């Protein structure tokens, strides 16, 4: 193969290649969103619990504690177990 043919070849490779990489990862973005949507329907995160928490203890100054607890739960759920 002469240098020019090879260069032309590699240009085509670049276009096709970047095209595939982008399409592939774009598709993956969509599928991952779908996955997360489904997964969170099937098994909601435990951070929904804090929403129920404030109702339980009742009195006024329980609220900030509950909010902090919810924040901590959220934060910890966000990190790895």
Residues that bind other proteins (CB under 8 A): 1, 3, 6-7, 9-14, 16-18, 20-22, 24-29, 31-33, 35-36, 39-40, 42-45, 47, 74-75, 77-81
- Please say which residue, 59 or 80, places its beta carbon nearer to other proteins: 80
| Beta strand spans in the chain (E) | none
- Coil, helix or strand for 60? coil
- Please say which residue, 6 or 68, places its beta carbon nearer to other proteins: 6
- Please say which residue, 57 or 74, places its beta carbon nearer to other proteins: 74
Q: Least Å distance between CB 44 and other proteins?
A: 8
d(CA 41, CA 19): 33
CB 69 within 8 A of CB 50: yes
Provide the 8-state DSSP code for 57.
T
CB 1 within 8 A of CB 9: yes
Q: Least Å distance between CB 78 and other proteins?
A: 4
């Amino acid at each position: 193969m002469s240098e020019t043919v090879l260069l032309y070849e590699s240009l085509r490779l670049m276009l096709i290649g970047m095209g595939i990489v982008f399409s592939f990862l774009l598709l993956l973005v969509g599928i991952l969103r779908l996955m997360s949507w489904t997964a969170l329907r099937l098994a909601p995160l435990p951070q929904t619990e804090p929403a129920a928490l404030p109702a339980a203890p009742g009195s006024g100054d329980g609220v900030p504690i509950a909010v902090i607890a919810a924040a901590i739960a959220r934060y910890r759920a966000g990190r790895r177990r």
